[in-house]
Amino acid sequence: MSDYIFYINETEISNGEQNFIDGNFQDAERSFEAALSSLYRYNGDQLYPILLASDLKDKIQLCRWNIRDAKELNTHLGCVLYHLQRFDIEMVNDLLDDQGLYLNSNKELFIQNLSDALNALKETGDTYLDRIPGYCNSKECHKKKTGFSLVGNKSNMYFDFLFDVKNGIIISIYECNNFKCNQICFDRKYKITIDDKYLPF
């Protein structure tokens, strides 16, 4: 790789890392994208650029998630999802209404089963849950109710949640057996369930 490309990458990546630490996620995203763009002009040994490009794409995606999360943190659903994606079960517990209905059970049982599932995902190496929006595609239960596939960033194991929100507050969470993503971008073979009768861990 030429000295020029090295310089561009080191400068942009350094700027991106600092902006990310400072919470300037849009500026960080632009810096990482500039570094990624410079790799496309490189025609030499492919190993290093391929590995770096993969890392930069991950950083860009993380910036985009943080930009999205910052916009949504003023909503109850956004806050719950934010902490759920980061395996912060204590905050999820604090945020959910004690009187809500969660997977047809009370909050205490739901939180215990969800905690067990998240711990098992962490043991597989997952550090984060990606989320992909979608809806129930079944005529028998929650047709067209919206929710998310929550996907382990390493294991690709996932579960599908639907949400009832009333007056800005989540009042119910359901698992969905016929969930349709708005976009398919992961392998849907590794589904798990949080229901205590079928918890696979």
Q: Domain check: are 12 and 80 in the same one? A: no
Query: Hey, what are 131's tokens?
Result: 């989320």
Q: What is the CATH number of the domain that holds 7?
A: 1.20.58
Looking at the structure of the chain, the number of domains it has is: 2
Look at 58-67, 106-115, 127-136, 168-177 and tell me which has the smallest mean pLDDT.
Answer: 58-67
The pLDDT value recorded for residue 124 is 92
Q: Domain check: are 60 and 95 in the same one? A: no
pLDDT confidence of 102, banded at 50, 70, 90? very high
Model confidence over 7-23: pLDDT tens digits? 557 888 889 899 888 88
Task: Kindly tell me if the per-residue pLDDT of 197 is higher than 70.
Answer: no
Task: Kindly tell me if the per-residue pLDDT of 94 is higher than 60.
Answer: yes
Q: What is the CATH number of the domain that holds 94?
A: 3.10.450.50
Q: Domain check: are 158 and 90 in the same one? A: yes
The C-alpha atoms of residue 80 and residue 91 are separated, in whole angstroms, by 8
Q: Domain check: are 82 and 36 in the same one? A: no
Q: Domain check: are 135 and 62 in the same one? A: no
Q: Domain check: are 43 and 85 in the same one? A: no
Sign of the torsion angle spanned by Cα atoms 86, 92, 95, 97 = positive
In a domain, 197, yes or no: no
In a domain, 200, yes or no: no
Q: Which domain holds residue 43?
A: 3-70
Q: Domain check: are 47 and 126 in the same one? A: no
Model confidence over 33-79: pLDDT tens digits? 888 887 776 655 555 566 778 888 888 888 887 787 777 677 899 89
Task: Kindly tell me if the per-residue pLDDT of 109 is higher than 70.
Answer: yes
Rounded average pLDDT over 142-161 = 88
The C-alpha atoms of residue 116 and residue 110 are separated, in whole angstroms, by 10
Q: Domain check: are 31 and 113 in the same one? A: no
In a domain, 112, yes or no: yes
Model confidence over 116-142: pLDDT tens digits? 999 999 999 999 898 889 999 887 776
In a domain, 193, yes or no: no
Q: Domain check: are 86 and 135 in the same one? A: yes
The pLDDT value recorded for residue 165 is 92
pLDDT confidence of 104, banded at 50, 70, 90? confident
Q: Domain check: are 81 and 65 in the same one? A: no
Average pLDDT, the chain: 83
The pLDDT value recorded for residue 142 is 67
In a domain, 196, yes or no: no
Q: Domain check: are 57 and 104 in the same one? A: no
Give the global pTM. 0.67
**Most confident range, picked from 74-83, 177-186, 188-197:** 74-83
The pLDDT value recorded for residue 201 is 43
Q: What are the C-alpha distances in Å from 109 to residues 7, 54, 63, 148?
A: 54, 39, 34, 21
In a domain, 186, yes or no: no
Q: Domain check: are 84 and 108 in the same one? A: yes
Contacts 24+ apart (CB under 8 A), 20-23: 20/59, 20/62, 20/63, 20/66
